[in-house]
A and B are shown apart, each in its own frame.
Chain A
Amino acid sequence: MSSQFKYTIEKRKDIGFLLNSLSIVIALIASIAFAAGLIALFGAEVDIVLKAIARGSFGSLHAIIDTLIKATPIMLTGLATIVAFRAKVWNIGQEGQLYAGSMGATFVILTFPDLNLPAVIHIPLLLLASMIGGALWGGIPGLLKSRYNVNEIIVTVMLNYVVQYLCTFLLNGVWQEPGSYYYNTIRFPQSTFLPLLFNTRLHLGFIIALLAALLVYFLIWKMKLGFEIRARGDNPVAASYKGINTKRVTLLVMLLSGAISGLAGGVEVLGIHHKLIWGFSSGFGFTGILIALLGRLHPVGVIVASIFFGALHNGASAMQIYSDVPRSLVNLIMGLIIVMLLFWEAVFKYRLRRVENVS
């Protein structure tokens, strides 16, 4: 009796935490290696470029602070994505909701210029206004989805354009700083500036984003609404049989997701620019979606991923200065990471198994 072996490929039941983490690490390493290959291909010296990226992202206190500043808005849009995607409501409108948020805060400032409120009241009021702005912009697709089952992906994507053009229209008109050639508002009053932390450029927005991560965690895993969000996401049929109003959950999720994205817009305008500038968001909303996927729809994952992306962004600026490699390489790396992530995730869903063949 001899025994021989053969191998079969079969599906795993559960990927598990370890392989899940491994797929992320492999995706990161593989995409950076791929980018390094590209850099070499274009004739730049890889080690200089990589050193420049490292220096620009974490090389000094100043670099670290800059990285955290860059991470702030995308951390918030990433959190907004978690809330929606956990319910399998496909909100792709973070970018537009972020604009709506910044416009909400701007609206309050420009409409009531003589409030003369102390900063402790003025700032929360403005952040609330930005959340309401975002919630409104998320609520439209939410209402259409829950009432008439209109595809939320299409509506949110299209509304991104609508709000950005609306913003351009206002900045080119009633909101434009008198006499300015550029599309921006007047500088906001001092009482609207987010306080700076530790005598650096880092503003309160970063703390707000961390706090939001904590709240999102609490919402998703410790609250009734979070339970219903996850139930809707995992099995809407069983959820509705057990009395969960899935339409209401859809609407709430869009309002909430929009509010968090709106907060990102408010924080960015009040913390960095101190005025509304045309094109102030370099795709923070879309980056947030990538970050949420990279962070596996978990707040801790989003914190880590957003800091990583912030670092990549700053590193890219340094890279452009020190090595003439264009900074758009970062976008390429981001895209690669997502493709690699999906690829390894698919690969790890299967495993090789040795079967004994007794003959």
Chain B
Amino acid sequence: MHSEADTPLLTVENITKRFGQLIVNDHVSFDVQKGHIHCLLGENGAGKSTLAKCIYGASKPDSGRIIFKGREVSFSSPRDAIRQGIGMVHQHFVLSEPMNAVENIIVGEESTGAILNLQKETESIQKLCDQYDVTFDLSLPISQLSVGEQQWIEILKALYVGVDLLLLDEPTAVLTPQEVERLFSVISKMAEEGISVILITHKLHEVMDISKKVTVLRKAKSIATVDTKDSSRESLAKLLVGRDFDFRVDKVKVGIGKPVLEIEELSVLRDNLTPAVDCVSLTLHEGEILGLAGVSGNGQSELFDALLGVRQALYGRIRLGEEEITNLSPAEISNKGMASVPQDRLKQGLIGNFSVKENLILGAHGNQPYCSGGVLNMKAIMDFSEEAIDHFDIRTMGPEQKVEQLSGGNLQKVILAREISHPVKALVASSPTRGLDINATYYVYNRFLELLKMKAGILLISEDLDEIFNIADRIAVIYNGCILGEYSIEDATIEKVGLLMAGL
């Protein structure tokens, strides 16, 4: 006989979900106990988010059972799931921008009745805030709140409805280190009060920091569920990748040389003509990776665009090597040796409907030997792409395959092959490993290091501090379009950088 304490709050049994030929969840099973923080650990594409959606009723599994509070359930919509006590905070928040926190929290809540008593609701939400040590102005419209604060609203919404199980999908992706700490302390408090939390993540240290148990997903399957205290980063990584994994990057000091990319007092406007980049000065040297840390939306993408010539610089100067490139055309800048890895691969980096071959020469398509007299040289293009596919280990059915059919890692390989097959002075990379699995991530790092040996410099724009601390030589922090600080990597600490990222 099971005692009350042993009965899991949630049992997921043999959940299978397919999209076309693709199996996203393959007989996934695990239990979540009451009051536990349970991590779902897996690389991108391992099926974490789909699994969460099945539990939350946003998606229906093809087969398998979900048992919640001892009863088999089959939710036809998230509304059903919420009624039964399951809440979810999505990776992309679903809030109504012009409304304030209180209104967003009570929207959809039926117990309020036809006539709203906002005063009463505000008081009860304030009480929840006090209980969990959350402080922010409930009366402000969403658009004036920070991303971290918006996340509180999503969590408060779940607490307000009174959930027994809360799913959090990659909640730390958009937060500064300090905000993550606060989030984790609230989650811990929730667990103490008997709420179970499923935390979806691909970051090993988060699992180690906070969870009681962890279920590792790999290639759509649940590989193992283990107690966190019995495991280590290394053992989890092994489960995650399926083999021993070496975390180190063979970083050889190549010796930092003369400046390759100099940005002097650069100011750039957003589309709505408000300043996005405000008097930024940075210098990148040969053989150096300069990490630019910051919460997204603080001017990084506008800086990226200005460096490539896609966006006009309002003031200031940009020099690449010996030459001034301020406000030259993207084609001229790229021909002078600027390479780029944009944040959104399929939107900014590649043409999805084009073949691998065509994407590999995009940008160089007008240069010798790929083109002469306005006519494309198909043989030269084919030769180059076969070589690039081979050299960069691009997994494809051939040079004619459309890139939109490739996986994220292979998309990034196509971009890297295109960008660094030609002489490069500086590479500007924006979140180059976002959405990639561990293998692809280290592939990218190793290519970067090879590039350094060839005396190029790399400006690494990333929200992922682990990444910057892992491979950068120096770190600069951007906040609200300004550089708030620059450290060599030896002098930088997560705490210092985190404070600057928050603008403190």
Contact = CB atoms under 8 A, between A and B. Distances in A.
A355 interface: yes
B108 interface: no
Contacts of B405: 13-14
A139 to B, nearest CB: 20
Nearest to B308: A241
Given A13-B405, A231-B362, A245-B331, A238 B375 contact: no
B329 A231 contact: no
A234 B351 contact: yes
Contact of A238 (B63, B329, B350, B378): B350
Contact of A234 (B331, B332, B353, B363): B353
A248 to B, nearest CB: 10
Given A222-B378, A224-B374, A357-B62, A238 B331 contact: no
A197 interface: no
A13 B20 contact: yes
A10 B20 contact: yes
B349 interface: yes
A223 B332 CA distance: 21
B365 A227 contact: yes
Contact of B310 (A235, A241, A359): A241
B211 interface: no
B309 to A, nearest CB: 8
Given A10-B19, A242-B363, A243-B330, A231 B374 contact: no
Q: Name the residue among A14, A241, A245, A356 with the largest chain B CB count within 10 angstroms.
A: A241
B63 to A, nearest CB: 5
**What DSSP secondary structure best describes chain B's contact surface?**
mixed
B316 to A, nearest CB: 21
Interface residues of A, number: 29
B117 interface: no
A244 B63 CA distance: 48
B353 to A, nearest CB: 4
Contact of B354 (A225, A231, A241, A243): A231
A345 B297 CA distance: 40
Interface in A205-235: 222-225, 227-228, 230-231, 234-235
B347 interface: yes
B351 A239 contact: yes
Interface string A243-256: 11100000000000
Interface of A: 10, 12-14, 222-225, 227-228, 230-231, 234-235, 237-245, 353, 355-359
6 contacts: A224-B365, A224-B375, A240-B310, A242-B362, A353-B20, A359-B63
Given A235-B353, A238-B350, A357-B62, 7 more contacts: A222-B375, A223-B375, A230-B351, A238-B349, A243-B329, A243-B333, A356-B62
